[in-house]
């Protein structure tokens, strides 16, 4: 039997496309309307992106999910390099005393830190085959598992910076961090997650502020043009900003259920960390000055956002620019002879599409029927599917189906190499347009607290309303409605008004929403 199979051309998809190791491809998904959060969890599992691990709050990112992360990484990394950054790597462990140095930062993260206290186990004398922590192996100083790396990085920058000639330092790192969250959700909030964190040091406040906003723009560019999700750029209120930052800028995206997702943050750190870690340089006049800093990051949470922004009741929908597989080709056949014919016929097209840089999977598994495969790739969000069978061979045609609209059409075989790239482009644009329309439909200008609550409990979404700017009002609104100030949009117009809660004077509308 093995010999019989070996003779078949294209018996297996290339290894790099074999991302389909899930054997439990399930049938039905709850609809978004029925149960949005169950729908989300089911997509993550059924599209084979990730699963819960045996460690509470942690997830196993499966090959298909990780492939999406790799696409994101590739593109972001390219954009970081284009803006002058280089990659480096700093340790996972931060000595507690170092972590404490920037007081606000330490306080802000203290409640969710994992701590290493010992460095050795030993066999349990009272319980054969079991291990216990060796009390002899207690660390003199505990190590904090990084929830973010400012401390260890600024402690290092201290050694790297003496002169203005040493600046700026423009470093990014791809890493994992741990935040011991009380409640977790796959991709959106996990105890351990993957991210990138940029940490830069500058001679002047202006340079650092410019960097902060530049990276915010890079994120917005990436999320809009690659993830096809429109974002609102803004500044966080004091209550929501990063501990240790002077200003936190963010981008906020709207999900299909009307909740907001913070998709990335960029912090202007001022001289807070430079002072905490004593990072000083001699300026051109020979005077010592503290360095100015920034930090910025996006995480695997973006994958959660990607899912929630576009997908439908049949499964995941991926924008072509981030899809691990752009096109899947499903042969229709009754027997080996027919499969061989289809395979021979389809080969030049596969070659040509691949030569254009497209990731094309030819799924010639004989173990599943076409209908099963159609459903499977729909669940996995592959943007374009081509079906080709005996009927097509006679007519010189292929059947092309697009995932975003589920439209199918028949085209001439020879047109594929021209039409498919155009179609992928159109899908990318359509997803963005759709998401933009959703956001427009779900953004409401609100002028009273009554209306504020009605909108939240009705269609949800973004609310643009006046706010008096005080933390007290923000907290009360949060208590009463669970909505928070997502950001003060950068493009907010000056407009005199009164706070929807307190009635006090406000000069601009801010963005409110319930958020993930």
Partner RNA sequence: CGGGGCGUAGCGCAGCCCGGUAGCGCGCCACGUUCGGGACGUGGAGGUCGUAGGUUCGAAUCCUGCCGCCCCGACCA
Residues that bind RNA (CB under 7 A): 1, 23-29, 52, 55-57, 107-109, 111-112, 179, 181-185, 189, 240-243, 262, 265, 314, 332-335, 366, 368-372, 374-376, 378-379, 387-393, 399, 401, 406, 408
Nearer to RNA, 156 or 262 (CB): 262
Residue pair 234/249 in contact (Cβ under 8 Å)? The answer is yes
The H-or-E segment that residue 344 falls in is helix 336-355
Nearer to RNA, 68 or 384 (CB): 384
| CA–CA gap between residue 410 and residue 371 (Å, rounded) | 18
Q: How far is the CB of 248 from RNA (least distance, A)?
A: 7
Q: How far is the CB of 180 from RNA (least distance, A)?
A: 10
Nearer to RNA, 26 or 507 (CB): 26
At which residue do the structure tokens 């410019």 appear? 210
Q: How far is the CB of 223 from RNA (least distance, A)?
A: 17
How many alpha carbons lie under 13 Å from residue 297 in its C-beta half-sphere? 20
Eight-state DSSP code of residue 102: S
Q: How far is the CB of 282 from RNA (least distance, A)?
A: 33
How many alpha carbons lie under 13 Å from residue 429 in its C-beta half-sphere? 6
| CA–CA gap between residue 199 and residue 212 (Å, rounded) | 10
Nearer to RNA, 29 or 308 (CB): 29
Q: How far is the CB of 287 from RNA (least distance, A)?
A: 34
Nearer to RNA, 237 or 506 (CB): 237
At which residue do the structure tokens 């996972």 appear? 92
| CA–CA gap between residue 427 and residue 432 (Å, rounded) | 9
| CA–CA gap between residue 192 and residue 381 (Å, rounded) | 26
At which residue do the structure tokens 């493009």 appear? 491
Q: How far is the CB of 36 from RNA (least distance, A)?
A: 11
Concatenating the DSSP letter of every residue in 414-440 gives GGHHHHHHHHHHHHHHHHHHHHHHHHH
Angle of CA points 405, 409, 415, to nearest 5°: 120
Q: How far is the CB of 296 from RNA (least distance, A)?
A: 11
| CA–CA gap between residue 277 and residue 255 (Å, rounded) | 40
Nearer to RNA, 201 or 332 (CB): 332
Nearer to RNA, 289 or 419 (CB): 419
**Coil, strand, or helix at residue 125?**
coil
Q: How far is the CB of 37 from RNA (least distance, A)?
A: 7
Nearer to RNA, 106 or 438 (CB): 106
């Amino acid at each position: 039997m093995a010999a019989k199979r070996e003779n078949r051309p294209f018996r297996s998809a290339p290894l790099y496309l074999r991302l389909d190791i899930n054997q439990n491809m399930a049938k039905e998904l709850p609809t978004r309307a029925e149960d949005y959060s169950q729908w989300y969890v089911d997509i993550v599992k059924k599209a084979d992106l990730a699963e819960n691990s045996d460690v509470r709050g942690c997830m196993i990112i499966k090959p298909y999910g990780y492939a999406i992360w790799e696409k994101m990484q590739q593109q972001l990394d390219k954009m970081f390099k284009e803006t002058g950054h280089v990659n480096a790597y700093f340790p996972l462990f931060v000595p507690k005393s170092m972590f404490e140095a920037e007081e606000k930062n330490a306080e802000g993260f203290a409640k969710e830190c994992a701590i290493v206290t010992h460095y050795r186990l030993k066999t349990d004398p009272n319980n054969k085959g079991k291990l216990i922590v060796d009390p002899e192996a207690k660390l003199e100083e505990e190590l904090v598992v990084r929830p973010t790396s400012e401390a260890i990085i600024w402690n290092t920058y201290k050694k790297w910076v003496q002169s203005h000639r040493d600046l700026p330092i423009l470093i990014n790192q791809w890493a994992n961090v741990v935040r011991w969250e009380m409640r977790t959700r796959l991709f959106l909030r996990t105890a351990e997650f993957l991210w990138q964190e940029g940490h830069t040091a500058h001679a002047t406040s202006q340079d650092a502020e410019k960097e902060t906003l530049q990276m915010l723009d890079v994120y917005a560019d990436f999320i809009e043009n690659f993830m096809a999700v429109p974002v609102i750029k803004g500044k966080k209120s004091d209550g929501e900003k990063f501990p240790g930052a002077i200003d936190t800028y963010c981008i906020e995206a709207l999900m299909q259920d009307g909740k907001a997702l913070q998709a990335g943050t960029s912090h202007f750190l001022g001289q807070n960390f430079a002072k905490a870690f004593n990072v000083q340089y001699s300026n051109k006049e020979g005077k010592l000055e503290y360095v100015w800093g920034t930090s910025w990051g996006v995480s695997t949470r973006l994958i959660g956002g990607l899912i929630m922004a576009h997908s439908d009741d049949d499964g995941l929908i991926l924008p072509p620019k981030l899809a691990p597989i752009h096109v899947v080709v499903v042969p229709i056949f009754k027997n080996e002879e027919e499969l061989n014919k289809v395979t021979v016929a389809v080969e030049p097209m596969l070659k040509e599409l691949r030569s254009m840089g497209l990731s094309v999977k030819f799924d010639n598994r004989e173990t599943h029927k076409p209908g099963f495969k159609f459903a499977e790739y729909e669940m996995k969000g592959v943007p374009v599917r081509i079906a080709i069978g005996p009927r097509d061979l006679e007519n010189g045609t292929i059947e092309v189906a697009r995932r975003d609209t589920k439209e199918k059409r028949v085209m001439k075989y020879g047109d594929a190499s021209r039409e498919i790239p155009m179609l992928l482009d159109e899908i990318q644009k359509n997803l963005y347009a759709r998401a933009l329309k959703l956001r427009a439909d779900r953004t409401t200008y609100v002028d009273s607290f009554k209306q504020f609550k009605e909108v939240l409990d009705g269609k949800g979404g973004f609310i643009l309303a006046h706010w008096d700017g005080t933390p007290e009002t923000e907290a009360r609104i949060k208590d009463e409605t669970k909505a928070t100030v997502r950001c003060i949009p950068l493009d907010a117009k000056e407009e005199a008004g009164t706070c929807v809660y307190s009635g006090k004077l406000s000069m601009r509308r801010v963005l409110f929403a319930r958020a993930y």
